[in-house]
Chains A and B, each alone.
Chain A
Amino acid sequence: MIAFFSRWASLPAFYRRAGRWIPWLWAVAAGLLMAGTVGGLVLAPVDYQQGEAYRILFVHVPSAWMAMFVYMFMAGASASAFIWHVKLAEILARVSAPLGAAFTALALATGSLWGARMWNTWWVWDARLTSVLLLFFLYLGFMALQAAIEDRRRAARAGAVLALVGVVNIPIIHYSVEWWNTLHQGATVSKFDNPSMTWDMLWPLLTMALGFMVYFAAAVLVRARSEILERERHRRWVIDEVTR
């Protein structure tokens, strides 16, 4: 088990394996995102309450899901880096932060556009919006910490502490719409047995969400490969790999 894991986490092997996967992941992500966009903008029926404006949902909801998923991914990688000193986990935590921040920014911006039309305000300090803004600052704080500490192994440990403390924010985001009276509407999909959404709207949303996920996988692997090259640039295998 440990032998399997250490082989999987070996940087040269990971670098080569990721290099083979990335083109496929880009292709699958592009296909899913295009199908989801056509489904969301053209095929899904108009919402009887919100009209065409609800189509923002097909961007907003997947990016909000990813904002939380990437945080959990980053915190999980940070925990493995902290406990077992796995280099690959340090690298994955470090490179996923900017992507998580991008998804969070997209969720906030599209939510703002949606709110501007539906609530007649770009921003309100309600529980859901504020806790997501805090998530955005957690990502920025993690990135700033990584940038400020020269020694990458120490930066990973410091970042791990911040990431793990910040995990407490995730359930707050999730339950904020139930615990507090907010302007933000409640979940429509998480009740999978009986989602309050018709299949015509649900399939573009799920396709889009899957597209976001595969896109994240591709983007995080590209960034991880760069990070590996930078850390190992004076090793023999990197020079062989690049000159090959």
Chain B
Amino acid sequence: MSALAAFFAMGGYAPYVWGSYALAVIIFIYNAWAPLRRHARLRRAILADGRRASAATAAPTHRIHDENSP
């Protein structure tokens, strides 16, 4: 058996050892990715809210201005 094959075989414990490390990788990646995605979405939602709010305040002043003009 080559050194590399021996390394992957883990002395016959491959499913247990690699399974443990795979679980760790999945949990670590998920717990980094999910909060980052949530943060990005939240920032976008707040940005959209802000635009909507500024559009709402801009519209009435425009209309009032129109009414007052001849």
- State the A residues within 8 Å of B (CB): 26, 33, 37, 41-42, 46, 51-53, 55-56, 59-60, 63, 98-99, 102, 105-106, 109-110, 113-114, 116-117, 215, 218-219, 222-223, 225-226, 229-230, 233, 238-239, 242-243
Interface CB pairs A-B, < 8 A, 17: A41-B17, A53-B17, A56-B17, A105-B27, A106-B24, A110-B20, A218-B32, A219-B32, A222-B32, A222-B35, A222-B36, A223-B38, A226-B38, A229-B46, A238-B46, A239-B46, A242-B47
Please report the total number of B residues contacting A with Cβ < 8 Å.
Answer: 26
Instruction: Say yes or no: is B70 at the interface (Cβ < 8 Å to chain A).
Output: no
Chain A residues near B24: list those with CB within 8 A: 59, 63, 106, 110
Instruction: Say yes or no: is B56 at the interface (Cβ < 8 Å to chain A).
Output: no
Verify A226–B20 contact, CB threshold 8 A.
no
Verify A60–B13 contact, CB threshold 8 A.
no
Verify B31–A55 contact, CB threshold 8 A.
no
A60–B38 CA distance with the chains assembled, in angstroms: 28
Chain A residues near B42: list those with CB within 8 A: 226, 229-230, 233
Chain A residues near B31: list those with CB within 8 A: 98-99, 102, 219
